[in-house]
Amino acid sequence: MKKKLLSAVLAVAMTASLLVGCGSQADVKGATRGNGKVGVAMPTKDLQRWNQDGANMEEQLKAAGYDVDLQYASNDIATQVSQIENMISKGAQVLVIASIDGDSLGTVLAQAKEQGVKVIAYDRLIMNSDAVSYYATFDNYMVGTKQGEYIKQQLDLDNAAGPFNLEIFTGDPGDNNARFFYGGAIDVLKPYIESGKLVVQSGQVDFDNVATANWSTENAHARMDAIISANYADGTKIDAVLCSSDSTALGVTNSLMANYTGEWPIITGQDCDVANVKNMIAGKQSMSIFKDTRTLAAKTVEMVDAIMKGTEAPVNDTSTYNNGTGVIPSFLCEPVFADASNYKELLIDSGYYTEDQLK
């Protein structure tokens, strides 16, 4: 952890020192590094993490000397498209976009490309557009692997007799990440489902059947209500619920509290949202995945700098993320396992949350 913090600090420091050294270099569309306009398009304020992502991006870009136009689109695709159009017409040279639906930005980004505006896909890959220069994200497949491995270990699937009951909740079908989270987890769990050691009583296993529109807590809650009433109303034990995110885990937890009388299941999550960390401390959620959005923002600022300067940004993956037009050079940050035993070190000691926020 210390190492990670140190590298995050170093990344910011390096970005800052690069800026000092290169203030006068030529840029995209005539501005200088640390002296240009960056549009930041975020999906929604309703899901906790994007508030942090937006705030970190704004803070770090401003510290690097850029003008920032930060917009949230209330999970509405048309709103996001028009916000991006506005950013372009107001003179943004680089766009940092966390898309709502990865496949809906082709037209507006063709416009960006035509006008020489560069695009960084932030956290979520933008599909089928050749306007995307870079992708900054976490290792999404690894997130799913860690969630699947956790269930495998906790239930001791290789040794215990079972069978165990499992239910599955993943994210929005328009978010390319959801398929990676699901894929990472299901690759671990599928052999046990096939052998019958894990039983999905609802029968809902395929991606389309376990997706959650908008990653919404309410949608997950409603689906879990239906699953419980059809399969577990008599107190039949649910051993584990694979949830790709904290937003879905929260809906599942709320539904279990209202409707379920059996022994409490293992519940996975992702993001270390405040409500979910509280649930972990209270024993209602088993684990989450910590994705330090400060590090992601720092990596993205490095990409912005490189674009403005006309150089290449550091990437660490050039084979995984093909958006339909080719592989997008990516930087994948490392997702970290979190539970009640390490949240203090990860989240409080690192300054991500204050202790009061988690009370």
Count the site residues for ligand BGC by CB under 6 A: 13
Q: What are residue 135's DSSP bridge partners?
A: 121, 330
Asked if residue 175 binds ligand BGC (CB under 6 A), the reply is yes
Shortest Cβ distance from residue 49 to ligand BGC (Å)? 5
Asked if residue 47 binds ligand BGC (CB under 6 A), the reply is yes
Build a one-symbol-per-residue string for 268-287: x at contacts with ligand BGC by CB under 6 A, - elsewhere.
--xx----------------
Residues in region 216-255 near ligand BGC by CB under 6 A: 245, 247
Stretch that binds ligand BGC, among 169-177, 249-257, 280-288, 323-331 (CB under 6 A): 169-177
Interhelix angle for 48-63 vs 2-21, to 10°? 40
Stretch that binds ligand BGC, among 106-114, 171-179, 186-194, 256-264 (CB under 6 A): 171-179
Asked if residue 215 binds ligand BGC (CB under 6 A), the reply is yes
Residue type, 312: E
Asked if residue 139 binds ligand BGC (CB under 6 A), the reply is no
130 CA to centre of own chain: 22
Shortest Cβ distance from residue 331 to ligand BGC (Å)? 14
Asked if residue 49 binds ligand BGC (CB under 6 A), the reply is yes
Asked if residue 177 binds ligand BGC (CB under 6 A), the reply is yes
User: What is the DSSP secondary-structure string of 134-203?
Assistant: EEEEE-HHHHHHHHHHHHHHHTTTTTS---EEEEEE---TT-HHHHHHHHHHHHHHHHHHHHTSEE-TT-
Residue 163: asked if its preceding bond is cis (omega within 30°), the reply is yes
- Taking the CA atoms of the chain, what radius of gyration do you get in angstroms? 21
CB distance 145 to 185 below 8 Å = yes
Q: Cα dist. 301→39, 48, 250 in Å? A: 12, 21, 32
Q: Is the CB of 27 or the CB of 53 nearer to ligand BGC? A: 53
Query: Which residues in this chain contact ligand BGC in the complex, by CB under 6 A?
Result: 47, 49, 123-124, 171, 175, 177, 215, 245, 247, 270-271, 291
